[in-house]
Amino acid sequence: MNSVSRCLTLFLVVLATGCSVNPVTGNKELSLMSAEQEVMQGEKLYDDYQQQQGGKYVVDPELTFYVNGVGQKLARVSDRPDLPYEFVVLNNSVPNAWALPGGKIAINRGLITLLEDEAQLAAVLGHEIVHAAARHSARQMTRATLLNVGLMAAGLAAQSTDYGDWIMAGAGVGANAWQAHYGRDQELEADKFGVQYMVEAGYDPQGAVELQETFVKLSESQQRGFMENLFASHPPSAARVERNRELAAANPGGTRNKNAFQSAIRQLKRDEAAYKSHEQALAAAQKNDFAGALSLTEKAIQQQPKEGLFFVTKGQLKMAQKDDAAALQAFQQASKLNPEYYLGYLGAGLMQKNAGQNSAASQSLKTSMKLLETPIAAYHLGEIALASGDRNAARSYFEFAAQGSGEIAEAAKAQLNKLAQG
């Protein structure tokens, strides 16, 4: 398509779905996305974002069941009860929560442990429901779409790390939180309607006041660096506390469900020490103290042997120490504990390939690609395909790997050049 007709098409799309009424506020605004596109977009990104941020928290599946129940209760009284809402708990220590278009919402276990009761949890989820229902993130994507049509090709959002940095991918799990960057007006809107949903679902809106107070307190403490992600997407302020206080005062009373909440997070609380050891291990690894990191990881495993993430870190550390056999074993244990998370398969595939076990490696890498497409898995699948003489398969793997930047992309480009010449 030439640029004129592309522009025209874009223009027509704007005309077709352009002026929509915001379903929460009733205001008219520009949106390139129809409701169907919005749901599809959210669904497409939801799995990738979860994988990139530690995957689902599976040590205690009851917790996700509970959180989803609270979320659905709020969603039913929202302005768009018809969206296919979903609420997951992510295996990530960073206090954060986010929403994608179409009602796809996530909350990190690192935020849940900061809360005291169900009303506070409802405040977080109600706030995120507004971001989704009022198309806040959709509007943001509309801006991105206008800037670079077509750049949202599959996989571009899912670029993992290069081979050299890959050891630290586990540490990245902490740092890599999705930041939505909403505007101040959108934050106030989310607070306001979030409190309204809380009240309609029977919760004490005081929970929203306390939540903001907790955030303000944390933003003033030394924990600040740790909290950066949450504050970047939902900046706390005394003004927001004040506004929530007014909204709560107008609607006093409601349930807190403290006992139900405390019993739902019992396992998380019990494992706090284990996750603390793991975070210390990641900090040690970042300073290249692999021996120290390893002993802290072993400690975390002793404290909670069912946590697959600890075995991923162990595998990465063994890999850094060039102990491929021990690394492979750890990665396989990680996948056994959490079969829906990509990193264990990816690590196992790399170790199997190093050992010359190409068919096992191919299987592991393909499983990791099904969960999250990464340039590094694609590159090594390309090499395996090339070794077996399948030049076409090799080419398409290298083409995918070449889309990124850095070591892996350069290596993939070199392979493509060789293929073009031969």
Closest approach of Zn ion to the CB of residue 231, in Å: 10
Task: Using the rule CB under 5 A, give the single segment among 233-241, 289-297, 330-338, 345-353 that binds Zn ion.
Answer: 233-241
Closest approach of Zn ion to the CB of residue 56, in Å: 22
Tokens of 305: 């042997």
Separation CA 368–CA 359 (nearest Å): 14
Task: Using the rule CB under 5 A, give the single segment among 94-102, 228-236, 261-269, 353-361 that binds Zn ion.
Answer: 228-236
Beta carbon nearer to Zn ion, 96 or 145: 96
Residues that bind Zn ion (rule: CB under 5 A) add up to a total of: 3
Nearest to 401, CA basis, from 160, 169, 48: 160
Closest approach of Zn ion to the CB of residue 200, in Å: 19
Fill in the per-residue mask, 188 to 217: x = in contact with Zn ion (CB under 5 A), - = not in contact.
--x---------------------------
Task: Using the rule CB under 5 A, give the single segment among 29-37, 165-173, 180-188, 211-219 that binds Zn ion.
Answer: 180-188
Closest approach of Zn ion to the CB of residue 112, in Å: 17
* Single-letter amino acid, residue 121: L
Task: Using the rule CB under 5 A, give the single segment among 140-148, 231-239, 257-265, 410-418 that binds Zn ion.
Answer: 231-239
Indicate the Cα dihedral angle 265, 266, 268, 272, nearest 10°.
130
**In angstroms, what CA-CA distances link 239 with 15, 114, 184, 228, 246?**
38, 21, 11, 19, 11
Nearest to 79, CA basis, from 125, 133, 123, 39: 133
Which residues, other chains included, contact 328 with Cβ-Cβ below 8 Å and sequence gap of 6+?
A: 315, 347, 348, 351, 352, 355
Closest approach of Zn ion to the CB of residue 214, in Å: 15
- Select from 73, 192, 234, 240 the one that contacts Zn ion (CB under 5 A): 234
Beta carbon nearer to Zn ion, 187 or 383: 187
Closest approach of Zn ion to the CB of residue 192, in Å: 12
Q: Does 227 bind Zn ion (CB under 5 A)?
A: no
Which residue matches tokens 């506020």?
25
Separation CA 326–CA 330 (nearest Å): 6
Tokens of 62: 């009851």
Which residues are near Zn ion by CB under 5 A? 187, 190, 234
